[in-house]
Structure formats: C-alpha cells, structure tokens
Amino acid sequence: MGPRSEDWDTPSGPVLAAAMMRNEDVVSVLHGFVRRRSWDGWDLRSIIDDLERLRWALPRRVRRSHPWLLYLREMAICYSDDILHRMMSMACRDPMSGIPNLEFLSVYLEELIAAEVDHDPDRAGRTSLALVVVRPPGPAMVERMTSRLLVGHLIRSAVPPELIVAHVAPERFVVVMPPLVAPETAVSSLRAALHGRREFEALKVTVIPLPRDRDELLGLVSSWRREAMKGPPITGEGDLG
C-alpha cells in the first residue's frame, strides 16, 4: 500500500481502505466514514477531498479499478441524508438546549394516551405531567436565554434519565412521569434543584394527569401556547397542584 494520508486515519479509514482492497461492498463502510466526518463538522467538499487523498494512498491497480465516481455519488447521497436527518431531529427540539419541544411532546403524549386507553381501560395506572414554570430575574435577552439553558440542565439532572423532559414555552418545561414514578418524589427533586437560586425570580411546579383523549390534549397544548404568548407573571412559592 502506498503512503497513507494522516487525514483519514480514523476508525473507519483503514476499514474503508481494506474493503476497497478486497473488492468488498464498501457502501456501509463508506456511509460510516462520511457520517463521522459530517458529525465532526466537515463540509461535503472537504469530505470528497479527504476521500480523494485516500484513493491516492491506495495501490495504483486498486485506485484505477474501483468505480470512484459511484463512490462519490454514494457519499454525496449519504451526506445529504445525514444533514436532512439532523434537520428533522432538531425541528422537534429546542435549538439552544436540545431538549424536545412542544411539537415533539404533543405527538409523544398523543401516542401515550392511545396506549393507556388500549392497555389500561380502567386507567388505574396514570401517567402524570409536571409543569415547571420559571421566570428569570430580569427582562434582558441574555438573562432569559441563560435561564432557559440553566433550567433545562437542572431539570434534566434532577429526574431519572429515562423520563421525557420537554421545553414547551420560553419559561415552561414539562416532565412526563410514568405511573411507577411518584409525583411527590419527582417534584421534591425538582424543587431541590431549582429553589433558592438567584437566577430565578419565581418558580412554580404543578402536577396534572395525562389528558384522557386527543381533544383534551389539544386543549392543554393550546393553553400552553396561549400562556407562552401572554407571558403572565408568576408570584409566590412553588406549589404542587
């Protein structure tokens, strides 16, 4: 094998070269190669140049015999697919914190309601929602943005990792608590993480049951949207409703 380019010396680089040397199916390895570069922030032109350096590092008979144009097309398709997938993922997440947003939560809760109705007609075990509302101490944009990021981080660290935490409005977060999670325990953890911090002027934690049907869910989601637009003031201590 010829001189190796240091730029493609990644876990997938030698594997990709070996697949080409053996005339194996390189598509899956090529996709892994492209996706690693893409997630590291490489643009398509840089990845193509990187693959070209890999081609010149292969023995002459190998680099001349391989369908290189097909590999380049496959790489471009993979890159585009990866970018589209990330755009779709981020469309359902808050762009700053990465926490699922209201659109994600609406779809998730709708599926959850259908599952509970099908498997628990008596609704003995109910999922509940903890609505956490925090207002930053000042009107400045920096204070509001910092508050959102900090609150999202604190909520995420205060509850078990398997629980869904969503950012449904600028100062509003929702924690989905399955039947086996005691609401009082979750709320206590949230209060311990959030109360007493100077970054927050007011805090309120309210526990509500999962809506019974789609119409009730739509009403709840609409109320969250209206509250987000009005931005009502919050006063007093946190409570458990």
Per-residue model confidence as pLDDT tens digits over 130-188: 999 887 666 666 666 777 788 888 888 888 888 889 988 878 899 998 887 888 888 88
Residues in the chain where the model's pLDDT stays below 50? 1-9, 119-121, 232-241
Please report, to the nearest 10 degrees, the dihedral formed by the alpha carbons of residues 131, 107, 97, 221 taken in order. -40
Question: CA 84, CA 90: separation in Å to the nearest integer?
Answer: 10
**Secondary element (H or E) of residue 225:** helix 214-230
Are 79 and 44 in contact by the 8 Å Cβ rule? The answer is yes
Question: CA 47, CA 9: separation in Å to the nearest integer?
Answer: 13
Are 4 and 54 in contact by the 8 Å Cβ rule? The answer is no
**pLDDT of amino acid 232:** 42
**Tokens 């311990």 belong to residue:** 192
* Residue 93 three-state SS: strand
**pLDDT of amino acid 66:** 63
Q: Residue 35's CB: how many other CB atoms inside 10 A?
A: 17
E-strand stretches of 25-171: 128-135, 164-169
pTM of the model: 0.59
Question: CA 36, CA 158: separation in Å to the nearest integer?
Answer: 32
Cβ-Cβ contacts under 8 Å for 144 (sequence gap 6 or more):
136, 170, 171
CA distances from 87 to 3, 45, 70, 94 (A): 38, 20, 26, 12
**pLDDT of amino acid 166:** 92
How many residues does the structure list for the chain? 241
The architecture in CATH of the region 102-230 reads: 2-Layer Sandwich (3.30)
Question: CA 239, CA 237: separation in Å to the nearest integer?
Answer: 6
Are 225 and 218 in contact by the 8 Å Cβ rule? The answer is no
Rounded to 5°, angle at Cα 130 from 127 and 133? 160
Nearest Cα residue to 79 out of 46, 40, 38, 45:
38
**Tokens 């700053």 belong to residue:** 96
Question: CA 24, CA 20: separation in Å to the nearest integer?
Answer: 6
